[in-house]
Each structure stands twice: as C-alpha cells, then as structure tokens.
Amino acid sequence: MSRPKTGDKRAAILDAATETIAREGIGASTASIAKAAGVAEGSLFRYFPDKDTLLNELYCEIKSDMRSAMVADFPDAAPLRKRVRHIWDSYVDWGLARPSKRQAMLQLNVSERITEASKAEGEVRFEGAKEAMLQLVALGRLHGLARAFASDLLLAMAETTIGAMAASPADADRYRTVGFEAFWSAAAKKESREKTPKISE
Amino acid sequence: MSRPKTGDKRAAILDAATETIAREGIGASTASIAKAAGVAEGSLFRYFPDKDTLLNELYCEIKSDMRSAMVADFPDAAPLRKRVRHIWDSYVDWGLARPSKRQAMLQLNVSERITEASKAEGEVRFEGAKEAMLQLVALGRLHGLARAFASDLLLAMAETTIGAMAASPADADRYRTVGFEAFWSAAAKKESREKTPKISE
Amino acid sequence: MSRPKTGDKRAAILDAATETIAREGIGASTASIAKAAGVAEGSLFRYFPDKDTLLNELYCEIKSDMRSAMVADFPDAAPLRKRVRHIWDSYVDWGLARPSKRQAMLQLNVSERITEASKAEGEVRFEGAKEAMLQLVALGRLHGLARAFASDLLLAMAETTIGAMAASPADADRYRTVGFEAFWSAAAKKESREKTPKISE
Amino acid sequence: MSRPKTGDKRAAILDAATETIAREGIGASTASIAKAAGVAEGSLFRYFPDKDTLLNELYCEIKSDMRSAMVADFPDAAPLRKRVRHIWDSYVDWGLARPSKRQAMLQLNVSERITEASKAEGEVRFEGAKEAMLQLVALGRLHGLARAFASDLLLAMAETTIGAMAASPADADRYRTVGFEAFWSAAAKKESREKTPKISE
DNA sequence: GATGAATGAGGCTTCATTCAT
DNA sequence: GATGAATGAAGCCTCATTCAT
C-alpha cells in the first residue's frame, strides 16, 4: 500500500515481509521479500543481519502496531465491561483492517524461530489492558487462574470472531457483538444477570 | 519414541514427521524426518510421492486420530451439555496426551501447503459432534450464526485451555473444568442456569 | 504389441526398453522399463547385470534385427544396382515398420554408453551387404574411399528418407524411390546411366 | 579451453555445456557443467532457470553459430552450384573446426528435451541457403519434394562426410570434395552430364 | 527364480548470505 | 550506502542397484 517514498527502506522491508509471509508463510525467501519491498536483495541485510532477526523484528513490530491500536483512546476510567469491550473491538477491528498483518502474525506465532525474548517484548506496555484483564480475572468466572489465561482466551475468541467476520462480511457487526458477549459471558461473573453489571464495575 | 519393529514404515514416517514438525515446524527437512523415522531418505518417497503429500496425509491422519478420540464413547443420547462436555474433554485430553500431534497440527493449520481438499476431509465423520453443535447454536447465545463458528470457538477455547494446562499441570483439572464452563457460558443460552437443562434438550 | 506369454522375460524387457527409450531417451529409468515389460523392478537385473549392459545388448539386438531384415532374401547373384536397392529398401522398410526400434537406435547411436565392442559387433554378418558396398566403392564415384563411407552415406540418406516418408506417408513410395536414386547417383559411377549396369557387375 | 576472464559467465557456461555434453551426453550433470565453466553450481541457475532451458538455449546458440558460418560471404549472386558448394563447405568446415559443438548438436538433435519452438527458431535466417535449396529442388532430381528433404539430405551427407574427414584427416580434402559431388549428383538435375553444368548455372 | 521394498549416492534447484563495484 | 552477481550448503527428489522374502 504505502510504499514510502522516503528512504525508509527498513519500513518498506517490514511491510513487504508482512505481505509476503502472509501469502507464502515463513518460508518466503528473503529475495522475494526484498523484491516486494523494491530494494536489492543485499539491501535487506543492511537493515537486518539475518532472516531470523527480520522475523523477530517483524513480530515485535506487528505486536507493537496491534498494541497501538488497543492503547489508543483506552478508556482507563470506564467500567470494566467498557474497557474489555474496547480491547475486544480494538483487536477485532485491527485484525480485520490489516488482514496481512493478522495472517503474518498467525504464521509468526507458531514459528520456532521467534525467540522467547521477542514474545516477552510483545507483552509489554499493554498496561491498561493488563489491568483490565486482572480485574476481570479477579472478579469473574476465571477467578484464581492466571491472567494470561483470560488474555489468551480473549485473543483466541477474537481471532475466531475475526475469521468469521472475514468469511461473512455481511454479518460482521453481529459477529463482533456476539463474539464479545460470548467472551464476556465466558469470563465475567457467573452470578445472576442482574448482578453482572455490578461485576463489570 | 517407540519405533515400531513391524514393517510399518509408513506409520513410522508419519510419527517421525509429527515429532519433527512439532519441534522444527513445517520447514523440517525430509532428511531429518526420515532419520527420525529410522529409514533412508529415499524410503520416505516410496510412501509419499513428495513432501506436500506427506504433509497433507499427516494432517488428515492427525485429524482422524483426533476424531477417533472424540467419537469414542460419544453419548449420543445424553443431554446437550453432557455431549458438549464430552467433545470438550475428548479434545482437551487428546491434545494433552499427544502434545506433538497437537503442536504439529498447529503448524499444519496455518500452512498454505495444506489443500482445501485435505481440510474438507478433516471435517467428515464428526457427525455426533456436529449435531451437538447444531443444537447448541440453535438454542443458545450464538443463535443464527454458522455452526462452524461454534465449533471454531470451542476449538480455540479448548486450545487455549490445553496450553494453560500444559503450562500448569498442577491446575490442569481446574483449567479443564473452568475452560468448559467458560465455553458453555459463551455459547449456551443466556437465561438463568436453572433453565439450562431445558436448553440442552 | 506382442507381450510374450512365455517366460521370455528377457525379450519382454528388451522390447519394453525399445519403446521406453524411443519415447524418453537413454535417460529412461530401469524402473519404467521394467514396468513396461510387466516384470518386477529387480527382475530386470537378473537378465542384465546393469543398465549399461542392457543398453549395449539392446543396441546389438536392434542391429541384429535390422541385419536380419537386410539379409533375408538378399539377391547375392543380382546386379549391383539390384543388390544395393535391396539394402536400401530393406533398411527403409525396416525403419518405417519399426519406428520405436529406429528411434531407440537413434538414441543409442549417439550415446557414449555404447561401447566400441558393441559397435563392432553390430558390423558383423552383413557380408552380402558389405560385398555390395565394396563393389560400389570400387567402381563408382567414391572410388578410393573407405567402404564405411559408402555404408554410412547410405544409412544417413536412408535415415533422412525414412524421416520424410514418416512425415508424408502419402508420398512414401516416391520418397523411397527418389531417395534411392539420389543415393545411387551419389555413389555409383558418374558415366551415363546406360553404362551403369556394366558397373554394377 | 580459453576461460573468458571477462564477466561473461553466460558464455562460459554455454561453452562448458558444449564440451561437457559433447563428452558425456545430455545426461551431463549441471554440477559438472558448472565446474567446467569455473563457476559455482548455483551460478549456473542465475543464467538459466533450469537445465532444460540451458539445453534449449545451447541448441539455439549452436545453431546460430552454424548459421553465422554459412551466412558469412554467402555468394547470393553466384550460380546455384557455387552457392550450394558454399553451404556444403561452410557446414563441413564449421563441423570440423568445432568438433565439440558438432558432437553436442548430435546429442541435442535426438533429445526429447529440445522443444519444437527451439527447433523452429533454429530454422530462421538461413534465407540465402533456403533459397538455394529451393532452386535446387525445383530444377533437380528431387523435383516435387519438400525443400526440407533436400536440406536434410545435405546435412546428413555432410555429417557423414565430416565423420569421415575427422577419422582420416589426411584424406580430408578428398572427402569434402567427393562428398559434395555425391550430394550434387544426388540432388541436381539427372539429365546427361553435358547438361549438368548448365543446371549448375 | 521372482519380487518389490529398501537404500543412499547423486541430480537439480533454492536460498540465505557475502562482497566487489 | 546500495546493488545484485556470486556462492555453496542444503533441500527435495530420482534412480540404479541390492537383498530378504
């Protein structure tokens, strides 16, 4: 899309890597990535010492992009339900709007070439979201379990929802909402519905 | 692990491919798979004309194995909740008991080398499970949406649950149950729990 | 065509090799030859210790077949022209009737895997033909040159003629005759045609 | 032989392929060709996407080289006999001077890996020669037959002649002349010798 | 004898990476 | 810095040959 006219080859390479890996998987050659980026084969290695580094930095970059989408306008002071809904919507909309990034991330997520360090780095600076998830766990159905479980559940359910939305664009809005309600029911307090609003506080 | 002494090289190769791909990803070389299977590299190609075929047959084989686990003892006549719980437990236990198969399947699932035909074949003969999912969708919170959405949601949540169980074996039982309750809350009817039994009919 | 019902696997293999090599060249695999012969892969090596031997024996066999065609009914006592015409027609008809053998021979002829010994063996027992060629050289336009030159010229011209006949079956008879006349003019004495009979004596 | 110091690797590879194929046949490995060319095996594939392309381009290249030899100094305005003699001599001398190219061409000519397109391309731009052959056919012994038949006959006879010259270098000149006379007698007008000169006019 | 599964060397091709320009 | 030609290790696959049944 936006092939930077500026000398920003690094970004061009990361973009091209996203597209190419989304299409061809982790096995995409550095040559094809460089070509898609409009740079010489060798130039790729001026910005990334080797392919593994490129993959790891791409992973971090996409995570960071996703984070930005979630962090933007995060309603820190809103009720829990609103905050979780924000996370949900941000993630789902991000994935829908950037299918290549999402697809590339699916590939990177299962790759043995992404280091633990990269995965750890992907976790940082989601503070508002983490805090919301902590509260959700503390007050809800997942009480006593690891916060990561709630986060992973949200991501897994959102991922499934995105897939359904992409497959049936006409029903996209319903899927987003129903998906969220499903997650909320799964994770929020199990008491009678009347009390649920209280939980979300 | 247990290298079959029988002449069943095909099975040995599939087993070795499972282990190797679980460890190294789809990029695992045919040489390493053959070696792990204890056969010559050329022998691999007597059983599978090329690597893509091996991958696709491995995919189908693992799916079939998973299916067998779910279909076994399927309580066709039980209430919906019991049947869904059976699906949940079967899947979760299968994944926990066969971490390599599960891990390999994660890799195969995102690979562009698995054909639509293979994916379609993976769907068949889950009749009891499909039927349960149809009822769940018809009567529950996902009313009006595609059955596949419910199935995918279950798989995604179970997957997440398996991950958590594997990470904290001590809490495994709690995760399995809580995970299921989360799914059930996500998908089953939203009315008060007392009415839930009615739904399951 | 005639897949021998008898136990004559050796002949079946040679036949199959002829067809397969005609179609795929010298690179045809022993497996494909065995399959075409209707025998097991390993059986081929009971009749021929290795592929090179198979190729060389095939070469000799086809040469021998060709020789048989030429030697049959050879008019030893006829005038030279008649004898040469017999050679010509025998060769041309043989090649036309057995396109696979001819095509396989074209491949074998240029192969570095055919030994000098095989080539030498291919020469023997063409006595009547050799004698005719010797006379032709002695009395004709190629006077003083090697007999092999005349033979090779005949074969080369006949080969070209066969190719033309195969390409235009409707004109086959004309090509055969014109081809022979061309060879005769090329090799026989240059004096007026009336005297030719004298030469041929 | 003379390994070009220039960066012209492509030509070096074609040269090496010529030598290697002349020696070992079409089955010569890309590794041996690359080695003979003094380049890494991978480099070969920068110039030719695969071995088949290499073979086809080699075929075209050699044909083109042969064409150049024939076209050079072609006496368009000379009498027919002179023009045909030019073709004959050019071809024979070319083949004698470049035994590897000739030998390689013999291999390529019978290979199923040379496409029809390559063969067609090999035919173009022989205009002067074609024209001469057309006249020869129109006026001579092959009257009414395809021009290609005359051309093929010339090539086949020249090929045989080259073989004889190579085998007996001492008699080379005689073979060249006698070979031509044989071809001329074979193809030119059959009328009485007195008239033959007229034809050749 | 006959079979065909098994073998592993070797062939073609790809690709991450280097380096001279 | 940027380039892309060059490299050769490594990958997938074929195949002549062996050998247990």
What is the spatial distance between Cα B134 and Cα B130, in angstroms, rounded to a whole number? 6
Note the strand E nucleotides within 7 A of protein beta carbons.
Answer: 1-20
Residue B86 contacts residue B154 (beta carbons within 8 Å): no
What number is the average pLDDT over the span A68-82?
A: 91
Cβ burial, residue D166 (10 Å; 0-12/13-18/19+)? middle
Query: Contact at 8 Å (CB) between B15 and B37?
Result: yes
* Phi, psi dihedrals of residue C8, rounded to the nearest 5°: -75, 75
Distance CA D7, CA C154 (A): 46
Q: Please give the distance of CA C143 from its chain centroid, rounded to a whole number.
A: 24
CB contact under 8 A, D152 and C160: yes
Asked if B111 lies within 8 A of A164 by C-beta distance, the reply is no
At residue C200, the pLDDT reads 35
Between the CA of A136 and the C1' of F10, what is the distance in angstroms? Answer: 50
Neighbours of chain D (3+ CB pairs under 8 A): C
Secondary structure, 3-state, A139-153: HCCCCCCCHHHHHHH
Q: Which residue of D has its CA nearest to C150?
A: D160
Give the Cα separation of C98 and D151 in Å (integer).
Answer: 25
**CA atom of A27 to C1′ atom of E16, Å:** 12
Q: Which whole number is the average pLDDT over A124-139?
A: 89
> What distance in Å separates the CA atoms of residue A22 and residue B110, rounded to the nearest whole number?
10
* Whether pLDDT at A49 is above 90: yes
Distance between CA atoms of residues D181 and D170, nearest Å: 19
Interior angle at CA C121, CA C120 and CA C126, nearest 5: 100
pLDDT of B170 reads: 93
DSSP secondary structure letter of residue C198: H
Count of residues making up chain D: 201
Q: D157 to chain C nearest CA, in Å?
A: 6
How many Å lie between the alpha carbon of B6 and the closest alpha carbon of chain A?
33
Residue D9 CB lies within 7 Å of the nucleic strand F: yes
Candidates D112, D141, D178; nearest CB to C185:
D141
Residue type, C93: D
Binary contact (B25, A23; C-beta < 8 A): no
The CA distance from D166 to D12, in Å, is: 26
Which residue reads 């949540």 in tokens?
B157
Q: C13-56, pLDDT tens digit by residue?
A: 999 999 999 999 999 999 999 999 999 999 999 999 999 999 99
Looking up tokens 């499903």, which residue turns up?
A: A182
Rounded Cα–Cα distance for residues A196 and A178 (Å): 17
Q: Which of C110, C157, C182 sits opposite D141 (nearest CB)?
A: C182
Partner-chain contact B185 A23, CB within 8 Å: no
Does residue A166 contact residue A102 with C-beta atoms inside 8 Å? no
Q: Mean pLDDT in chain C?
A: 89
Looking at the whole model, is its pTM more than 0.85?
A: yes
Chain A (65-94) residues lying within 8 Å, Cβ to Cβ, of chain B: none
Judging contact as 3 or more Cβ pairs under 8 Å, the answer for B and A is yes
| Category of D97 on φ-ψ map: left (φ > 0), alpha (ψ -120 to 50) or beta | alpha
Residue D7: pLDDT band (50, 70, 90) is low
B44 has a pLDDT exceeding 90: yes
Which of the four pLDDT bands, split at 50, 70 and 90, describes residue D5? very low
CB A26 within 8 A of CB A113: yes
Burial of C32 (0-12, 13-18, 19+ CB in 10 A): middle
Q: Hey, which chains touch C, using 3+ CB pairs under 8 Å?
A: D
pLDDT in tens, C138-194: 999 999 899 999 999 999 999 999 999 999 999 999 999 999 999 999 999 765 444
Supply the pLDDT for residue C193.
Answer: 45
Any atom of strand F under 7 A from CB of A13? no
| Mean pLDDT of all residues belonging to chain D | 89
| Distance in Å, residue D7 CA to nucleotide E20 C1' | 13
| B84-120 tens-digit pLDDT | 999 999 999 999 999 999 999 999 999 999 999 999 9
Evaluate whether chains C and D are touching (3 or more beta carbon pairs less than 8 Å apart).
yes
Please name the residue whose C-alpha is nearest to the C1' of nucleotide F11.
Answer: B29
Question: Is the Cβ atom of B30 within 7 Å of strand F at any atom?
Answer: yes
Mean pLDDT check: name the lowest of C95-109, C126-140, D12-26. C126-140
